[in-house]
Chains A and B, each alone.
Chain A
Amino acid sequence: MKTGLSTSLILHAAAIAFGLVTLAAPKAHDAGEVQAFPVDMVTPEEFSQAMQGDKTASVKEKPAPKPTERKDAVLDARNVGENEVDLEDVPKPVAKPVKVETAAAPKVEPAPKPDPKPVEVKQPEPKPEPVAQPEPAPKPEPAPKPDPIAEAITAEATPQENLDFPAELPRPEARPEPPKPAVAKVEEPKKPEKQPEKQAEKKPEKPARETAKAPKQEDLEALTEEVAALLDKRAPAGGGAKRSEQQAAIGTDKPSKAEKLSVSEMDAMRQRLGQCWSIPAGVDDAALLKVSVRFRLDRSGELEARPEVIRGGGSSGAARTAAESAVRAVSKCAPFNLPADKYETWSEVVVNFDPSDMF
């Protein structure tokens, strides 16, 4: 028995140890994180009411904007661009706007060019004159003197006011820089021209401009910005057309909360009309008695006008009597007691008078 017991004990110890290792802790199920999101049940009626326009919206002459249409993409286009056709050379569309701008920019430039040069030439000229004519009458001498002084004054005056320009003018230079690599060929010739212009402009030209435009600094700013805009050689950015931010389109008369008359309300109205209706006696053909009457009601439930027969009521005596009886029935019942908040639904009512249906 000892061997059996000891063997059994050893076996159990081994089994428990094995179980502790293998069955130790089963891996927890990975439940994941589930997020619940609310779902609303919308009946077709509610949906169509929600899609109706706003009755209170103001009337606009503009029609609702058409949604922007995207060009059909070429499915297996190799080059991406704004063309409709897949072209081999892409840069073409970029080159076009550049040409337009180069044409526009030189127009502004040639005008200032001639101005500075003659002025600069003139300035040195007067100076040698006095040197060349020292002996002649003193009259010419005072003439040149005031000139340098005046020039000095203008030179002194201009730099002071020039201080404003350098602060504003550099802007156009800074902006066009980014597109340089693309338009390098066109731009490089321009730069040397521009710099002399500015140097020339500052000294001689500005006195003329100052007199005219100096007081209006705001105009200058607007001008510089215009120039900046002209000099901006970046291709106009794309981007879809903006969606309209206009108010909701004007919709039906029914306010969104309005509901149809309930079945019981409609039934009550029909029963009431049935009570008011005295069927003309002695009519053999029941089909003659079928009359449709349309009438408009005001908010208090009163008839706005005499009911109008829209179907039935032929020329025969019996049919006319039937039609008149129906009209009479409506005017007899006249103040209809209907829910005021649903006025939109019963402002105009069409009632079918049919003896088989009314009773």
Chain B
Amino acid sequence: MEPLASAVSGGELSIWELFWQAGLIVKLVMIGLLGASVWTWAIIIDKTISYNRMRAALNRFEQIFWSGQSLEELYRTLADRKTNGMGSIFVAAMREWKKSFEKGARTPLGLQTRIDKAMDLALTREMERLEGRLGFLATIGSAGPFIGLFGTVIGIMTSFQAIAGSKSTSLAVVAPGIAEALLATAIGLLAAIPAVIAYNKLSSDAGKLGARMEGFADEFSAILSRQIDEKVAQKA
């Protein structure tokens, strides 16, 4: 690219030329924003994929869970596997249940609270995984234009200083510096716009998934509570 750019140089205002003519700070800003854009898109793609997977997993798990299969069997199949979403909540609850009954819990009173806490913990972890890195999108969405603007201001400042030095007010002298400085804002907007849109979309998606998992946790907690009551009644 470089030989081509140098061959074309001399008044040519290709984007590549604009980038190379820019000052160090502006260049750093542009590179940083470009990196942020890359990372933003990486997050967007990653999150979209993982949310789709999570949604599919939730559907499958609900299907299996409500198919009338015994909870013991389901736990045995899921315990060895790496689970996510509702599966991990179920496994966390079942593990606590098993531990309490295998070791012969005296009172079932604390069991319910322990199971609830275990499920809460699992749910929090799942939500963390879901919502992790969305904050970066929010940051880029809000700060990206400002960072680009900063690069533009610095670029225009330096170009005006250069124009003052050249002692010519011809537009041909003024224009390249301004165009080069505006490139920073352009890149900032380029990074920020998808970040804002994706952040709104992904965070609402994550909220929906979290609500679904919370609902499952409540339902499962109710089921387990009933089981405990039944066991207590059997013992008594």
Query: A residues near B, CB below 8 A?
Result: 1, 3-5, 7-9, 11-12, 19-20, 23-26
Chain B residues contacting A3 (CB-CB under 8 Å) are 45-46, 49
Q: How far is the CA of A1 from the CA of B50 in the complex (A)?
A: 9
Does B15 contact A4, Cβ atoms closer than 8 Å?
no
User: B12-65: which residues lie under 8 A (CB-CB) from chain A?
Assistant: 12-17, 34, 37-47, 49
Query: Does B15 lie within 8 Å of A20, measured CB to CB?
Result: yes
- Which residues of B54-79 have CB atoms within 8 Å of chain A's CB atoms? none
Question: 7 tightest CB-CB pairs across the interface, nearest first?
Answer: A4-B46, A8-B41, A8-B42, A4-B45, A5-B42, A4-B42, A24-B14
Closest CB of chain A to B92's CB: distance in Å? 25
- Do B49 and A23 touch (CB < 8 A)? no
Other A-B pairs beyond A7-B45, A8-B38, A25-B14, 4, CB < 8 Å: A3-B45, A8-B40, A19-B15, A25-B13
- Interface centre among B14, B40, B47, by most chain A C-beta atoms within 10 angstroms, is B14
Q: By the criterion CB–CB under 8 Å, are B38 and A24 in contact? A: no
Determine how close the nearest CB of chain B comes to the CB of A28; give it in whole angstroms.
9
Of the listed residues B8, B15, B39, the one surrounded by the most CB atoms of chain A closer than 10 A to its CB is B15
Given that A3-B46, A4-B49, A7-B45 are known contacts, is A20 also in contact with B16, CB under 8 Å in the complex? yes
Residue positions of B touching A, CB distance < 8 A? 1, 8, 12-17, 34, 37-47, 49
Contacting residue for A25 out of B12, B38, B46, CB 8 A: B12
- Asked whether A7 lies within 8 Å of B42 as measured between CB atoms, the reply is yes
Query: Provided the pairs A8-B39, A12-B34 are in contact, do residues A20 and B14 lie with their beta carbons within 8 angstroms?
Result: yes
Find out whether the CB atom of A24 lies under 8 angstroms from the CB atom of B45.
Answer: no
Given the contacts A25-B12, A26-B13, A12 and B41 also touching, CB distance less than 8 Å? yes
Tell whether, in the assembled complex, residue A23 and residue B15 are in contact, meaning their CB atoms are under 8 Å apart: yes
Main secondary structure of the interface of A (DSSP, over half): helix
Q: How many Å lie between the Cα of A12 and that of B45 in the bound state?
A: 13
Chain A residues whose CB sits within 8 angstroms of the CB of B45 once the complex forms: 3-4, 7-8
C-alpha spacing A166/B46, complex, angstroms: 113
Q: How far is the CA of A26 from the CA of B12 in the complex (A)?
A: 9
Cα distance A330–B187 in the bound complex, in angstroms = 90
Specify which chain B residues have a CB less than 8 angstroms from the CB of A23 in the assembled complex: 14-15
Contact for B42 among A1, A19, A25, A26, CB less than 8 A: A1
Q: Are A12 and B38 in contact (CB under 8 A)?
A: yes
A187 to nearest B CB, angstroms? Answer: 72
Bound form: Cα–Cα A24–B14 in Å: 4
Query: Given the complex of chains A and B, what is the CA–CA distance between A11 and B191 in angstroms?
Result: 13
Q: Report 27 cross-chain contacts, Cβ distance below 8 Å, ordered by A residue.
A: A3-B45, A4-B46, A4-B47, A4-B49, A5-B38, A5-B39, A7-B41, A7-B42, A8-B39, A8-B41, A8-B45, A9-B42, A12-B34, A12-B37, A12-B38, A19-B15, A20-B14, A20-B16, A23-B15, A24-B14, A24-B15, A24-B16, A25-B8, A25-B12, A25-B13, A25-B17, A26-B13
**CB nearest to B43 among chain A residues:** A4
Q: Which of B16, B34, B47 gathers most chain A CB within 10 Å?
A: B16
* Nearest A-chain residue to B47, judged by Cβ: A4
Which chain B residues border A7 with CB–CB below 8 Å? 41-42, 45
Q: How many Å lie between the Cα of A19 and that of B186 in the bound state?
A: 13
CB distance from A15 to the nearest CB of B (A): 9
Once the chains are docked, how many angstroms separate the CA of A26 from the CA of B17? 12
| CA distance in complex: A49, B13 (Å) | 57
Contacts of A12 in B (CB 8 A): 34, 37-38, 41
In the complex, chain A residues whose CB is within 8 Å of the CB of B17: 25
Residues on A with C-beta less than 8 A from B13 are 25-26
**In the complex with contacts A3-B49, A20-B14, A11-B41 CB distance below 8 A:** yes
What B residues does A5 contact at CB under 8 A?
38-39, 42, 46
> Could you tell me the distance in whole angstroms from the C-beta of A12 to the nearest C-beta in chain B?
5
Expressed in whole angstroms, the Cα–Cα distance for A26 and B14 within the complex equals 8
A25 proximity list for chain B (CB < 8 A): 8, 12-14, 17
Which residue of the partner chain A has the closest CB to B133? A1
Q: Quick check: B46 and A9 within 8 Å, CB to CB? A: no
Distance A20 CA – B17 CA, assembled complex (angstroms):
10
- Of chain B, the residue at the smallest CB distance from A17 is B1
Report whether B15 and A9 are in contact in the complex, using a CB–CB cutoff of 8 Å: no
Give A12 to B41 CA distance when docked, in angstroms. 9
Q: Which of B1, B16, B41 has the most CB of A within 10 A?
A: B41
A contact residues around B34 at 8 Å (CB): 12
Residues of A within 8 A of B8 (CB): 25
**Cα-based distance from A336 to B38 in the complex (angstroms):** 95
Complexed CA–CA distance, A159 and B16 (Å): 95
| Structural contact, B46 and A1, CB atoms closer than 8 A | yes
Q: How far is the CA of A9 from the CA of B37 in the complex (A)?
A: 9
Chain A residues whose CB sits within 8 angstroms of the CB of B44 once the complex forms: 4, 8
Listed residue (A12, A19, A26) with the most chain B CB atoms within 10 angstroms of its CB: A12
Inter-chain CA distance A8–B41, complex, in Å, is 5
